[in-house]
Amino acid sequence: MTRRQLWLRIIAHLDLPLLLGIGLLMTVSLLVLYSADNTGWSRPLNQMLHIAIALTCMWLIANLPLHYLMRTAVPVYTLGMVLLVCVALFGEISHGARRWLNLGITTIQPSELMKIGIPLMMAWYFEKHEAALTLKNYFVAALLLLMPVALIVRQPDLGTAILISASGFYVLFLAGLSWRVMGIMLISALASAPVLWSMLHDYQRHRILMLFDPSQDALGKGYHAIQGMIAIGSGGILGKGYLKGSQTHLDFLPERTTDFIFAVYSEEFGLLGNLILLGLYLLVIGRGFIITANASTYFTRLMAGSITLTFATYAFVNMGMVSGILPVVGVPLPLISYGGTSMLTLMLGFGMLMSIETHKKLVKT
């Protein structure tokens, strides 16, 4: 086998437009992390390791034929549910939340697995009943979503629960859930708002209240939101310049390598830089929608659509909370924020997108 043939075999199941968008966002991540960390190369080097592992996993999933993807649905969902129950019983408590499970050699957050497991399971279920979908099928699919979400809310981890709920809702929507039923669901949610409010923890209620007036506790609950908005506003049109963000380098900005890394980027690159970043996200999201539209089976269409819409939701929620238009819910900026678990989950999803695109010719009729 020649070097060219080997190279073509390696990239055979990689979607190059999607990979280009992902690669550019990862490059931005490394650049901004170096500035945000403000202590040297420690986090950027760790992020390079995260990226290498995540890209390897993406390549493996991209080379997995579609029927194998379907076969993983039930085992992945079942494993995720078992791990969530183990977290509830034996999980480690950190900062008042029980979200992590110590396996001895490493510590994992099972809720991350369900970001893939739930849409995968729901898409598999709808594929099995595609010929004659009834309201009962939508009810069963909703239960498949609500059971793990309830365990995640109990941890408590409201931000992750909301995003996972969104990923499951997208499957329901793409599967053809009627507008009438969605309207009833919305009315029911609004009617139950007072009950849901009473069930929230104090810190969760404070986060929502800070959305309307963070200045009422400027040095406490509202500090994150205020500093994020100051950093974004101080960037102006063109930004202060790379490595010149005062909010970042004078340590005013909290969580600047994770949840609030968008504020670091905005301060240094300004509105123009934000438009470029939005363009990169739209490149990835747009390519995801094209793959969804061209998907060859019901299962792959549901899965591709859910992955794409969930990625878009993650980006919107992070930018919204840093900009002060959404409550602070602890959601990382996808492919930019520091962290290995989130990066791995995202790349597993993109690997599925690539498998859906590059294997479709094998299953078309």
- Mean pLDDT of the region 323-329: 87
| Residue 230: pLDDT over 50 | yes
DSSP character string of 21-53: HHHHHHHHHHHHHHHHH-S-SHHHHHHHHHHHH
Question: What do you get for the CA distance between the two ends of the chain, in Å?
Answer: 32
Percent of the chain with pLDDT over 90: 54
CA atoms within 13 A on the CB side of 309: 21
Name, in order, each residue with C-beta under 8 angstroms of 354's C-beta and a sequence gap of 6 or more: 13, 14, 15, 18, 19, 58, 61, 62
pLDDT confidence tier of residue 23, bands split at 50, 70 and 90: very high
- Could you tell me how many residues make up the chain? 365
Centre a 10 Å sphere on the Cβ of residue 201 and count the other Cβ atoms it contains. 12
| Phi, psi angle pair for 260, to nearest 5° | -110, 25
| Residue 364: pLDDT over 80 | no
The more confidently predicted of residues 81 and 359 is 81
The 10s digit of each residue's pLDDT in 58-67 is 999 999 888 8
DSSP character string of 302-341: HHHHHHHHHHHHHHHHHHHHHHTSS-------TTTSS-HH
DSSP character string of 255-293: TTTTTTHHHHHHHHHHHHHHHHHHHHHHHHHHHHHHHHH
The more confidently predicted of residues 199 and 16 is 16
User: Do residues 126 and 145 touch, judged by C-beta distance below 8 A?
Assistant: no
- Confidence (pLDDT) at 95: 67
Tokens of 207: 């986060």
Q: Cβ-count burial of 315 within 10 angstroms (0-12 exposed, 13-18 middle, 19+ buried)?
A: buried
Amino acid at 274: N
- Confidence (pLDDT) at 365: 43
Distance CA 354, CA 13 (A): 7
The 10s digit of each residue's pLDDT in 68-116 is 888 999 999 999 999 999 998 888 877 677 888 877 777 778 888 898 9
Count Cβ neighbours within 10 Å for each residue of 32-54 and write b for 16 or more, e otherwise: bbbbbbbeeeebbeebeebbeeb
Distance CA 302, CA 300 (A): 5
- Confidence (pLDDT) at 101: 83
- Mean pLDDT of the region 322-331: 87
User: Do residues 264 and 250 touch, judged by C-beta distance below 8 A?
Assistant: no
CA 29 to chain centre: 15
Report, in angstroms and rounded to the nearest whole number, the Rg of the chain calculated over CA atoms.
21
Q: Which three-class secondary structure state does DSSP give residue 102?
A: strand
User: Do residues 331 and 314 touch, judged by C-beta distance below 8 A?
Assistant: yes
The more confidently predicted of residues 51 and 225 is 51
Q: What's the whole-model pTM score?
A: 0.92
User: Do residues 277 and 134 touch, judged by C-beta distance below 8 A?
Assistant: no
Four-CA torsion 212, 215, 218, 221, nearest 10 degrees: -20
Q: Which three-class secondary structure state does DSSP give residue 93?
A: strand
